[in-house]
Structure 1
Amino acid sequence: MTGAEPTPAPSVRGARHFFRASLTAGWRSWVSVGGVAVLAGLMFSASARLSDGGGASSRDPQDLAQLVDVETARVADLTERTSELDREIEVLSAHAGTAVPTPPAEQARREGVLSGSRPVSGPGLTVTLDDAPSTAVGAGPGGVEPQPDDLVVHQQDLQHVINALWSGGAEAMTLQGERVTSTSAFRCSGNILLLHGKVFSPPYEVTAVGDPAKMEASLDRSEGVQTYLEYVDWVHLGWDVRRSEHLDLPAHDGGGGLQYATVPEGTEVFG
């Protein structure tokens, strides 16, 4: 027929159909084989990672028996550490219930001596100072006549003696039998001595426990004591130093509290 494509013969159409069907079946087979290959590769890769000895997972047990062994060992370590901590707690608890240890006997004795709260015995010196006799007359150095104040023991005279004895290593001291402490303060008014609320008259006696030779040497080095000794030679002020092998000094019998002034409540200090 003119202008139309010739119709293939039946044999040709059958060949084409067979060829197309063969291609479709082959393509499906290749896809199936490829999928199986990919899955197999993924499985082999995962297996290789699990069995690899260099990865982070190699530090963990790969089976139940090994896991049990590892965890059992870890529990044993923790149990031992817990026991150690329990023992430390017991030791600390025992110390926490213990009273603060008292100072050694020598330290307690030393503190008592320094504070004056305990009596002291030992070798030492007794220094006595006294006013000049009323008959003391005569001109002093340079022809100077003595004045009434030159004939009595003054507060600074006692202070020079006490300071020299402390400097010479005195361990404890009394003035007029009263224990001298760090808070002791005496005052002279005329020839009257006020100490610890008590009134004393001359002669004044200072007693110190310590090395007698060292304390005597300290008295000799004191300028204030040497000035007093000049008046001893001039107006015959009393002066006597005696060594003793054994002296007993009493403890301070006063309280240790300090008294101080306070402003009455409601008083305006700054107007």
Structure 2
Amino acid sequence: MVARVGAGASVVAVSEGSHVSPDAPTGGGAGARLRQLRGWRLGTPLILLGCGALLVTSAADSGGTDLRPERYTDLASLTAQESREYAQLEDRVSELTGDVERLTTQVGSGEATRYQEQVEELKGPAGLRPVAGEGVTITLSDAPEEVINNSSRDLNDLVVHQQDIQAVVNALWQGGAEAMTIQGQRVITTTGIKCEGNAVMLQGVAYAQPYVISAVGNPAAMEAAVAQNDWIAGYRAAAAVPDISVGWDMQDEERLEMPAYSGLTDLQYAEPLGQS
């Protein structure tokens, strides 16, 4: 509280709770500030040194790449990049396969020659030789962007799925197809088709729609097999619905040229536990 005195007297008391006493020395505050300043002078170089060490370590670990890369949002660019990498690997496989064949032909034993003749006979049915002839091409595609943006349907109804591609492939085989490609890649008995997000994985490579499936064979027989397939009938019915409008196109081809399969041909399989 403040003390009141008579006229002409001075106020010598201060209110209760004041943090500074009139008799307190003033040198302690300056000393504390000096010690704090010295602490910053010593600590700042240490902090900068630590930051530099972290930057050097991050640069070494990244190897020139982004340690926290952003998610790919451009599917077309990602697909193109993976296709280029796959093409490089295919070239390497073809080069090594040629080396193996060249070395094999140099083996002079009769048994090796018989095996080589068997391999040559099986290359055609296995898809390891190029094929050309008449056939059909079927193209499947997602609904147009304006339909996808305005349709009240489930998004799954508006895009192509692996089951749709598999149904077309199976129908074409049933119709007597001699050889087949998807997105220009030769299809063989070990070819797998798998959905991966809004792309389809084919032999380890991601492909975006539209999906182009071509088959060499009798066009009339293959088209008849396609017409009799129940799954394809459902897909084509959905393609005719305006707020679905998935893409469907089938064309006769006077001549198709299909490359030989050039990927890996070794088989991978599981073994029961406890057996070597």
TM-score by length of 2: 0.53
User: In the alignment, which of 237, 254, 257 is matched to residue 245 of structure 1?
Assistant: 254
2:166–2:193: 8 Å Cα contact kept in structure 1?
no
Give ranges in structure 2 of 5+ residues lacking alignment.
1-108
Indicate the residue corresponding to 1:210 in structure 2: 217
User: In the alignment, which of 112, 126, 130 is matched to residue 119 of structure 1?
Assistant: 130
Give ranges in structure 1 of 5+ residues lacking alignment.
1-97
Aligned residues: 163
Given the alignment of the two structures, is residue 147 of structure 1 paired with residue 154 of structure 2, yes or no? yes
Name the CA distance, whole Å, in 2 between partners of 1:175 and 1:195. Answer: 8
Shift of 1:109: 7.6
* SS of structure 2 residue aligned to 1:225: helix
Indicate the residue corresponding to 1:229 in structure 2: 236
Higher helix share: 1
Shift of 1:258: 1.5
1:114–1:181: 8 Å Cα contact kept in structure 2?
no
* SS of structure 2 residue aligned to 1:121: strand
Amino acid aligned to 2:238? Y
User: In the alignment, which of 161, 164, 185 is matched to residue 157 of structure 1?
Assistant: 164
Cα root mean square deviation, aligned: 3.2
Name the CA distance, whole Å, in 1 between partners of 2:133 and 2:120. Answer: 14
Indicate the residue corresponding to 1:255 in structure 2: 264
The 3 A distance-change label for structure 1 pair 255 and 193 is same
Name the CA distance, whole Å, in 2 between partners of 1:247 and 1:180. Answer: 14
Name the CA distance, whole Å, in 2 between partners of 1:122 and 1:248. Answer: 7
Shift of 1:111: 3.1
The 3 A distance-change label for structure 1 pair 110 and 157 is farther
Identity %: 41
Amino acid aligned to 1:246? R
Name the CA distance, whole Å, in 2 between partners of 1:138 and 1:190. Answer: 18
Shift of 1:108: 7.8
1:129–1:204: 8 Å Cα contact kept in structure 2?
yes
Amino acid aligned to 1:237? V
Name the CA distance, whole Å, in 1 between partners of 2:150 and 2:236. Answer: 16
Q: Work out which of the two has the higher radius of gyration on C-alpha atoms and give 1 or 2.
A: 1
Q: Output aligned runs, 1:78-97, within 5 Å.
A: none
Indicate the residue corresponding to 1:220 in structure 2: 227
TM-score by length of 1: 0.54
Shift of 1:137: 7.0
Q: What do the CA deviations read for 1:131-150 (whole angstroms, capped 9, x no partner)? A: 0012227999xxxx521111
Name the CA distance, whole Å, in 2 between partners of 1:219 and 1:212. Answer: 11
